[in-house]
Amino acid sequence: MLALALLPLFTSACWAAPLAGLTTTTSLRNTPVFPAVNLGLPNLCDLPIINQLCAKVLAASDQVTTPIGVAQGVSDGNGANRFAVKYASATRWAASTVATKWALPNGATNASALPLACPQSLVDPSTYTEDCLSMILYVPTSLKANSGAPTLLWIHGGSFVAGSATGPGLDGSKLAIATNSIVAVMQYRLGALGFMAPNGGTNLAVKDTVNALTFLAKVVPSFGGSASKITLAGQSSGAGMIRALLATPSASSLFQSAILQSDPINYGFLNVSTQGLLQSSFNQLVGCAASDTACQAKLSVDSIINAQVTLGNEASTIDASTGLAEPIRPVRDGKLITTPLDLTAPFPAVNKPILLSNVKNEAGPTIYGMFPQSIGNSLFAPVCEASLGTDRTTLVQNSPFYNLTGVSDTRVPLETLGTDEVWRCPTWSLARSWSGHGGKAFVGVYVTGATYPANNDIAFCLESGSVCHQDDIEIVFGTVPNPSAAQGGLTIEMQARYKAFLATGSPNAAGYSTWTPATTSDVHAHQLGGSSSAPSGEIPAGACDPSFWGAQVQYDYQVFGI
């Protein structure tokens, strides 16, 4: 994996390590994507003196009777109601259990309260809690009980160590109204608390998402949804979580289709042996034996997060297959997650429709975040070798896809290389495999986006024509502040296509160009936004031709056999 593409480019708490042998004047970025949870109104409404005033925003129509109790919500005033709820509970490092009664998050007494985030580094501790298995439902006021509407469950990104349901741009009201569906935005245990149980139990966070799906199936009919029409959607590691659920047979009956935006598929799942090495190291860092539950219970959240950060910094030296960006991630344990869903093993039979998308400049935040100033061609090879190794670097240099001839700024081909290797090409490989084994896959590339707040300090991401990692989020949700005509038009289009996909499993919607599903030889990558120079409106394969990435030049999951 390209070294620079493994640094903090797609989530808030990716761990960075200096590139050996390189001297630059730049510093590595480690800026939170989700710097804080919006707690202003919820905290104020919990004050007795203001509680009665806040309660006045509630109306009878904002109360819904569910099989597990009365849900209270608040109206956004524009045609949607918001319901925050605790969907499951769990003690530290134990499997979560689905909620059996409707309860507001974090013991709140006012329905306007928003959930606290799950514990994570680089944020104020007052914004998170271990009691964080909550979600927010956004429901169009037009829906009535048992209307049979679809539900979209959004899983946030954050390299499995950061993020929340209240992250920037994740207000689902407009998306719910535009698609006439219920939009649920969930949280799951992050980092060590979600993936590093000292007793060796794996994938607790993945099991949290399974419980979120189970909870939704139970309650959405009361809000006008159908338990059999649930679609998963997520971005970056949220999309990686969905890929884990697609590889989990026991979860298959809980959702009908999936939307994966900017999944860094190149990394693959961890294998059991690598997880074991990381687990042993983590247990040593916290000073608790696998069986010492009393010791584990006494650990402060701060000490757990500190150990998690240290583990992340050291993971690639413990086992190179962890990489530098997502060393804590789902594990193919053979019990819950049973297949790699990649090119390293026979692909299973599939039948769910999936929608796979990337943005034009996935690696932009990494390359231009690390190197704010132009760099010369002499750095291309050492940067590549730091992660790709000598053999793969030679193949890349000898290919026609990343030609340095006439290039004055090596960041340009490095960004293209990072985008292709970590995101775009492995996504297209998945699409070919999926379509060849019984399922429909639709592939798209955003060439228009809206700068996500985390990218505001990266000059490249502010340039006209750049679409950096995360710049698709606010387009999909319809939360772009002061959208341009192009952004507004793409939001309307994508929400129309998502509405069609939720209902039919195809993103083809009236009034828009045909989006052709992938085949084993041509993924038909649909251009999203911009003005297409190709008659078909499709993005050319380039280096993502199956004879190059995944064959001549292997992905990381192939190199490490995970």
Q: Which residues of 457-483 are buried (b: 16+ CB within 10 A; e: fewer)?
A: ebebbeeeebbbbbbbbbbbbbbbeeb
- Phi/psi of residue 45, each to 5°? -70, -20
From 236, 257, 262, 429, active-site residue: 236
Helix (H, G, I), strand (E, B) or coil at 282: helix
Question: What is the distance, to the nearest Å, from the Cα of residue 17 to the centroid of all Cα atoms in its chain?
Answer: 23
What are the structure tokens assigned to 427, written together? 């996504």
Residue whose structure tokens are 């590889």: 247
CA distance 251 to 351: 14
CA distance 79 to 172: 12
Partners of residue 359 on adjacent β-strands: 446
Residue 184's contacts (CB-CB under 8 Å, 6 or more residues apart) are 135, 136, 137, 138, 151, 152, 153, 154, 172, 212, 216
Amino acid letter, 546:
P
Task: Please calculate the CA angle 477-482-483 and round it to the nearest 5 degrees.
Answer: 60
CA distance 336 to 330: 10
CA distance 501 to 150: 10
Amino acid letter, 200:
G
Residue whose structure tokens are 């950060």: 309
Tally of CB atoms within 10 A around 135: 23
CA distance 361 to 470: 10
Nearest alpha carbon to residue 554 among 452, 411, 377, 425: 425
Is residue 257 flagged as an active site residue?
A: no
- Phi/psi of residue 546, each to 5°? -60, -15
Handedness of CA 357, 363, 368, 370 (dihedral sign): positive
What are the structure tokens assigned to 2, written together? 């390209």
Q: Which residues are catalytic?
A: 236
